[in-house]
Structure 1
Amino acid sequence: MPPSPSAAESSERMPGTAEVFVGPGLGEPVTVLPRLNPAVFGFMAGGLAACGAVTFTNPMEVVKTRLQLQGENLIPSGSTRTGAPRLRLGTLSTLTFLFRSEGLAGLQKGLGTAYLYQLCLNGTRLGLYTPTKDFFTRHLAEATAAGEVPRNRTAVNILSGMVAGIAGACVGSPLYLIKTRMQSYSTAAGVGHQHHYTGTWGALRRILRQDGVRGLFRGMDASMVRTGVGSAVQLSAYDKCKDTLLGLNGGDSWFQDNIYTHSVASLLTGLLVCFVMNPFDVVSTRMYNQKTDPVTGRGSLYRNPAHCLVTTFRSEGISAFYKALVPQYVRLGPHTVLMFVFMEQIKALGQKWDLVG
């Protein structure tokens, strides 16, 4: 058998790099990869994991967007919820109509933009979560004794998730704006205001030309609330669920640090996030999709998230905030599971190949 590389040979590789052996045995060629900063690796792991997840869940995102906007054009200004006409399309009928009228392309509408959005949003959000949590743990957590779990660990996780979520929302806001508008557009039966964009870059140029840089960040305030709340719940709940499952029966249960445990923790987390985030998601979708005045730059229906919240409640009632709850969970449940499972596997590969340093 050919000899393995000697210690002297191994020590000659440049600092901050990792050896990855390729080939069937020792002595085969070695690929030297640079070690990545933990925050950079977290950004890459989070972004790639979210892109993998959205490939499967984007059709339900399109359905969710259509359902959250339906009825908006039917509500006259100043109308009450008792006098406002309503649409009655449900999840299955919307999905069926979408497939029949627009085909498979309609089900994956906005997927390219969704990839870019997931890279920006979840790359930033998931990449910042651990460093932010470590920062707050050092400065805010009060440990009961050296080496023990801080008493306020859950509060630290919630705060870290919110900060990371708000940062991700700011970075990804222009792409969320475009994605929402592209997914709501339909030549068959559009809902909400219709924006006809030919693609992501065409949409960026058109928005910049019509509304300037400010137009790209329209609705960001609503997205910051939505993603901040959702991220605070999602990331802290996932950590809590995962730790609880791993701690069952002193670690001798079915739940070990593996895909099975990651999947169960993610599924429970997705259910909780769905109920908490849906009202903010409805407001965010409507803020992003509304028509704007070309002169003043103001929205035609809502002045700000609070005005959208009040207007929607007065015209459609409390049930409006749970529109698209079923497709939201059908999307968010699998998306959460896939995203966390993919991310855990990417992190495991990073540790196996010694890529983080």
Structure 2
Amino acid sequence: MDFMLSGVAACGACLFTNPLEVVKTRMQLQGELKSRGTYRLHYRNVFHAFYTIGRVEGASALQKGLVPALFYQFFMNGVRLGSYAVIESAGYIHTEGRVSTGKSTAAGALSGVVGAFVGSPIYMVKTHLQSQATSSIAVGHQYQHRGMIHALSVIHRKHGIMGLWRGSGAAVPRIFPGGSWLVSLCAGMISSVVVVLFMTPFDVISTRLYNQPVDHRGKGELYRGFLDCFSKTLRKEGVIGLYKGLGASYFRVGPHTILSLLFWNQLRTRHHS
């Protein structure tokens, strides 16, 4: 039941933070492999991106990819928080009757990695759907998926079961620091800044690996893998290219973590009462 309650809590938070995911995805794909000043800047910052998407595509576009986002949150955070609850109940994070910061961090991070791998196909579809935009403000490769089920079936039909986990190698290190959510929450804003700064380059790379065009063999046409994507982005766009969408990531992490834990605590309290 802990897995179920954890997943539902994360979905509740996602309803509020998904627009920031849409903005983050668009900003991370903007100017992909292009030097600064050589491409049209559709999204200047988080607030301008919100305004632009709402003006051109309508307010509903800010919730693009919501269905796979909810499924991803349910699977990933369900596994993450649920696994953490099991580890906590078994007493593995306690030392002499007290919660150990080191063990708690390791348990949260490990749970996050497992959850990220399980939910990787859904995250890829979410990325595809959130990047789909009107041609005048489109960035990155544009897939033409009609929805989550259609996207999963198309990817599986063209590239097989392995195609659904394409890019998952970058998703694991991306979620690893975020897996230690309990420590981040207790340490406060400074710790959140450190986590986001560490996580953003992996987030940018995973978004680009997921969204790149793929040939008939299922191979990415832009990047051969994590290191290739990292080096090409750094060479073409500089360090700033690895931190695109940083503002949206930061504004999302805090509210999403707090809302997830708030809903999770309330659901557990009601369930056990």
| Post-superposition CA distance 1:227-260 (Å, at most 9, x none) | 123213x23333x44xxxxxxxxxxxxxxxxxxx
Tell me what 1:85 maps to: 38
Is 2:105 the counterpart of 1:158?
A: yes
Distance (whole Å) between structure 1 residues aligned to residue 40 and residue 107 of structure 2: 40
Separation in structure 2 between the aligned mates of residue 136 and residue 66 of structure 1, nearest angstrom: 42
RMSD over equivalenced CA pairs, Å: 2.1
Q: Matched residues in 1 for 2:89 and 2:40: separation?
A: 48
| Alignment counterpart, residue 313 of structure 1, candidates 234, 240, 260 | 234
Among 74, 77, 80, the residue aligned to 1:119? 74
Partner of 2:11: 51
Of 109-118 and 155-164, the range deviating more from structure 2: 155-164
Question: Does the Cα contact within 8 Å between 1:269 and 1:336 map onto a contact in 2?
Answer: no
Distance 1:299 1:335, change over 3 A: same
**Cα distance change of structure 1 residues 91 and 130 upon mapping to structure 2, 3 Å threshold:** same
Maintained 8 Å contact 2:184/2:192:
no
Paired residues for 1:183-198 under 5 Å:
183-188=130-135, 189-198=137-146
Q: Shift in Å at residue 133 of structure 1?
A: 4.9
**What is the number of equivalent residue pairs in this alignment?**
270
Deviation at 1:335, TM superposition (A): 1.1
User: Does structure 1 residue 236 correspond to structure 2 residue 183?
Assistant: yes
Residue 351 of structure 1, CA deviation: 2.4
User: Which residue type is aligned with residue 94 of structure 1?
Assistant: A
Partner of 1:292: 214
| TM superposition shift of 1:131 | 2.4
State TM-score, norm by structure 1.
0.70
Q: How far has the Cα of 1:273 moved from its partner? A: 3.0
Give the TM-score normalised by structure 2: 0.91
Change (3 A) 1:328 1:87: farther
Q: Which is worse superposed, 128-137 or 112-121? A: 128-137
AA partner of residue 46 (structure 2)? T
- Point out the structure with max Rg over C-alpha: 1
Match of 2:234, SS state, is helix
Unaligned 5+ runs, structure 1:
1-40, 76-80, 242-264, 353-357
Bigger relative contact order (CA 8 A; separation at least 6): 2
Aligned to 1:149: 98
Could you say which residue in structure 1 is the equivalent of 2:248? 327
Matching residue's letter, 1:175: I
Q: 2:264 aligns with which of 330, 339, 343?
A: 343
Structure 1 residues 135 and 349: CA distance shift in structure 2, 3 A: closer
Report the residue type matching 1:149 in the other structure.
Answer: R
Whether 1:201 aligns to 2:149 is: yes
CA–CA separation in structure 2 for the residues paired with 1:208 and 1:308: 23
Q: What is the aligned counterpart of 2:21 among 53, 56, 61? A: 61
The partner residue of 2:2 within 27, 42, 45 is: 42
In structure 2, the residue matched to 1:175 is 122
